[in-house]
Chains A and B, each alone.
Chain A
Amino acid sequence: MTAQQPVLEARGIDKVFGQHRALDTVDFAAHAGEVHALLGENGAGKSTLIKILTGAYQPDGGELLLEGQPIHLRDPLHGQTYGIGTVYQEVNLLPNRSVSENLFLGRQPTRFGMVDRKRIDAAAKDLLSRYGLNIDVRAELSEYSVAVQQIVAIARAVELSGKVLVLDEPTASLDRNEVQRLFDVVRGLKAKGLAIIFITHFLDQVFDLADRVTILRNGRKVATQALNTLNTTDVVRMMLGKDVAFDHHPTALTGGPKGAVRVQFQGLSRKGLSPFDLSVHEGEVVGVAGLLGSGRTEVARLMFGVDTSDGGQITVDGHPVTIRNPAQAVAAGFGFCPEDRKLDGIFGDLSVRENIIIALQAKLGWFKALNRDDQVELAGRYAEALDIRAANHDMPVKLLSGGNQQKVILARWLAIDPTFLILDEPTRGIDVGAHAEIVRTINRLREEGLALFVISSELDEVVAYSNRIVVMRDREMVAELDGDSIAPDAIVQAIAGTPPHETREARP
């Protein structure tokens, strides 16, 4: 299949945002009549690559070729005229208009300047029946399920473009039957000779639908391979891979007496997340491994009360507590460093000092304002303890590097003298040097007796600081590893769902 010329090809694509290299000489090729999956964790560069392929971004280096001819796409609309259509996870259609208008907007047939609705409705009905959809096309789009909306979006994209179809996480909000319905449509299009690029974080769907896969990690292409030569374990290994080497922590986390149980979660649950039990001890790091979409962030949000739980109990130091919002979590001594630091973590325009004291001030309440001397002292103490490098503590925190911002958030929580810290991807988007430093900091906090819950998609990193590792898959905690069983390979196998020394059939 690789002998023929690809329909859409990207050669040596570079994309740089500020100092961050999002894509580094990435090659990609989609052939006619194939479903080509694109895989990678958050920040691996797949959405950047997709945006370049569809014209939403322009590459800083490299070139795009359509059927062998170089093309330069100004925007997605321009991409469409070249035959590259895209269907996004959030259906980009008009919920307030009829199905037929959504299909024909911008190219409605007119008579004497008036839109000919009868013709549109008839054409829309005819078009959708080819996708196995017999619905009332005059009804508002929002009256239909997301699956139907996705198929309408695909029909529109194929109708307007017809060479390459990019499906950007189309199945994220569909149930099993709807996914199959969508896949049937995609298989039909594949048989018609379209090149289909399929982005998802559901591995089973990749094996179900795709012919080949390209895996990205940290902005680089890891591999492009036919899926029938791979199994899930191989794919997970390539996605999570090894980038930064850490020394396994010298204290050798195995065995040894654990401290008292500090925080205990029993049967904590929420719609779309299996109930889980977990207790975290004093001086213990519980690491969480799992792919994007496995439910790891949801667990963290549930623990901190960002999302309210449907049921279950939380006890801190043996006393039951109620956590239905983050304020209650802070009152219980919890701290949370969220995944998206810039959006949910820092207050970019506030100073380093204000960012550090804000959680403590929130805990103290309105009427016990920290005076300035205390603030300066506090900020200075934690900045020194965590080695925060800022020219001074009155500069806006957004001017700091990613690693230092992360340390400011850590300092914020340490200032409230926490019982339990939740860190979601603490090293994402941080350069290698600072990376190792954050890992050291986590280890030090553990030695000082803090209970930590740390989510990471970097396996070597999780291994470097965890006493125990919880593995998540399909929104469920599926395995717990401790002691000698903590090793990257064991984690990969647990994530892929294969017992050690056995490989699953690639295509079930």
Chain B
Amino acid sequence: MNRSLRPLLATTLIFLFAYMLAVSQQPAMLSTRVLGNFLTDNAFLGIAAVGMTFVILSGGIDLSVGAVIGFTTVLVAVLIMWLQLHPLVAFAIALIVATAFGAVMGAAIHYLKVPSFIVTLAGMFLARGGASVLSPDSIGINHPFFSAVQKSYILLPGGGRLTVVGMIMLAVFAVAILLAHRTRFGSNVYALGGSETSAALMGVPVARTTISIYALSSFLAGLAGVVFSLYTSAGYSLNALGVELDAIAAVVIGGTLLTGGYGFVAGTFIGVMLQGLVQTYIVFDGTLSSWWTKIVVGVLLFMFILLQRLVFRAAPRRT
């Protein structure tokens, strides 16, 4: 078996096991309502984590994700409430701004040969600061389009609701899976994560690919911001604080090697769901502090890093 499948398999098994455990404690958790809420509540995290998956697969890191989400919510709110633009126009503008922001970071990483950690850290401060300059206070969004979107959903058997934001996340995952595993761009991303020197010698357009990866990550962070504004009907500069770290955790728990080159987009989906599961369980239980989520995520993360070490250290050889 392909050894990069092993962490993915482990994540899936742990998710199923944890879900069964949760259901045995709280039988009400076994319903499409809960599943629907899983998707809705974690949509912005899932979308941002998809972008993070590409970045980590290529051997980089993007710390600006949370800040870009926050910035986008503020920008969208400003465009709709102050400039009276239609939300769809506002979304388009916000996504273009976010994508350009990521492309500039990617260009800096490639051409200035600065580690992605540093460049995206700078990007994080810039985006967060920019959002506060736009508006230090939370801006509520009142628009018929928002209410309409928030009220539309597909009713699942069992009473669950698949909301628009949930659907957006599922669509993003579906497209991203094809992009990662079935296109030349996806191959190039894995190639960069395997060895940048080899990739360059093999004709991978390193500059273009690097810029595209960070542009994609910021685009998805922007989309996550749009979803976040739909989810909360507000724009606030301190929205999504630390979401980049949750995204990184989801990617790693999903079986992607933190040093790049190995992993699957689908794994990230399970990583996000696993985090959502812990949160939901805590809500159901009612007596636990929500900080237990962080503790469980920390333990899981540690376990997976250990697991990856074990899987990738002993390289099996054929002749």
Seen from chain A, the residues whose Cβ lies within 8 Å of a Cβ on chain B are: 76-77, 80, 92-97, 101-102, 105-106, 108, 110, 113-115, 117, 135-136, 139-140, 142-145, 148, 156
* CB-CB under 8 A for A114 and B182, given A94-B190, A105-B187: yes
**B202 adjacent to A105 (CB under 8 Å):** yes
User: From residue B310, how far is it (CB to closest CB) to chain A in Å?
Assistant: 16
Residue ranges of B at the interface with A (Cβ–Cβ < 8 Å) = 2-4, 178, 182-184, 186-188, 190-191, 193-195, 197-204, 261-262, 315-319
CB–CB A76/B201 < 8 A: yes
Give 21 CB contacts A-B under 8 Å.
A77-B201, A80-B203, A92-B197, A92-B202, A93-B202, A96-B4, A96-B193, A96-B261, A97-B187, A97-B191, A105-B203, A106-B184, A108-B184, A110-B184, A115-B182, A115-B183, A117-B182, A143-B316, A144-B319, A145-B317, A148-B319
Cβ contact within 8 Å between B182 and A105 = no
B317 neighbours in A (Cβ, 8 Å) = 143-145
Contact for A77 among B183, B184, B203, B316, CB less than 8 A: B203
Contacting pair B195 A95 (CB below 8 A):
yes
Minimal beta-carbon separation of B247 from chain A (angstroms): 22
In the bound complex, CA of A286 to CA of B28 (Å): 83
In the complex, what distance in Å separates the CA atom of A94 from the CA atom of B187?
11
- Asked whether A94 lies within 8 Å of B182 as measured between CB atoms, the reply is no
User: How many Å lie between the Cα of A377 and that of B301 in the bound state?
Assistant: 56
Complex contact A114–B183 (CB within 8 A) = yes
The closest CB in chain B to the CB of A102 belongs to: B202
Q: Which A residues are in CB contact (< 8 Å) with B178? A: 114
In the complex, the chain B residue whose C-beta lies closest to that of A160 is: B203
B3, B183, B194, B316: the one within 8 Å of A94 (CB)? B194
For residue A37, give the distance in angstroms from its CB to the closest CB of chain B: 23
Q: Does the CB pair A106–B203 fall under 8 Å?
A: yes
Total A-B contacts with CB atoms under 8 angstroms apart: 80
Establish whether residues B201 and A92, one from each chain, have CB atoms under 8 Å apart when the complex forms.
yes
Kindly provide the distance from the CB of B5 to the nearest chain A CB, expressed in whole angstroms.
11
The answer to whether A94 and B318 have CB atoms under 8 Å apart is no
Closest A residue to B200 by beta carbon equals A77
Q: B195 to chain A: which residues have CB within 8 Å?
A: 92, 94-95
Instruction: Kindly list chain B residues whose C-beta atoms are within 8 Å of the C-beta of A136.
Output: 318
Q: Is the CB of B191 within 8 A of A94?
A: yes
Of the candidates B3, B183, B198, B262, which one forms a contact with A93 in the assembled complex, judged by CB atoms under 8 Å apart? B198
Min C-beta distance of B197 to chain A, whole Å: 7
Q: How far, in whole Å, are A77 and B190 apart by their CA atoms in the complex?
A: 20
CB-CB under 8 A for A101 and B187, given A143-B317, A145-B318: yes
Q: Which B-chain residue is minimally distant from A144 (CB atoms)? A: B318
CB of B184 within 8 A of CB of A115, answer: yes
Does B201 lie within 8 Å of A142, measured CB to CB? Answer: no
Taking CB atoms, residues of chain A closer than 8 Å to B3 are 140
Residues of A within 8 A of B187 (CB): 97, 101, 105, 108, 115
Q: Known pairs A96-B261, A96-B262, A106-B204. 5 more at Cβ < 8 A? A: A76-B201, A94-B190, A105-B191, A110-B184, A114-B182
What's the least CB distance linking B43 to chain A, in Å?
A: 26
The answer on a CB contact under 8 Å between B198 and A94 is yes
Across-interface contacts of A80 in B (CB, < 8 A): 203
Query: Which of A102, A106, A139 interacts with B318 by CB under 8 Å?
Result: A139
Closest to A54 in B: B201
Q: Which residue of chain B is the closest to A88 with respect to CB atoms?
A: B201
- Specify which chain B residues have a CB less than 8 angstroms from the CB of A92 in the assembled complex: 195, 197-198, 201-202
Give A143 to B199 CA distance when docked, in angstroms: 19
Q: Which residues of A contact B200 (CB under 8 A)?
A: 77
Q: Which B residues are in CB contact (< 8 Å) with A148?
A: 318-319
Complex Cα distance, B28 from A230, in Å, reads: 86
Q: Report whether B203 and A143 are in contact in the complex, using a CB–CB cutoff of 8 Å.
A: no
A96 touches B182 (CB 8 A): no
**Chain A, Cβ-Cβ closest to B178:** A114
Question: Which 10 pairs across A and B sit closest by C-beta, in order of nearness?
Answer: A94-B194, A96-B261, A96-B194, A106-B203, A114-B182, A92-B198, A92-B201, A105-B202, A145-B319, A115-B182
Instruction: Name the distance in Å between A314's Cβ and chain B's nearest Cβ.
Output: 33
B262 near A94 with CB under 8 A, answer: no
In the bound complex, residues from chain A placing their C-beta under 8 Å from that of B194 are 94-97
Residues of A within 8 A of B203 (CB): 77, 80, 105-106
A243–B9 alpha-carbon span in the complex (Å): 64
Question: Min CB distance, A133 to chain B, in Å?
Answer: 11
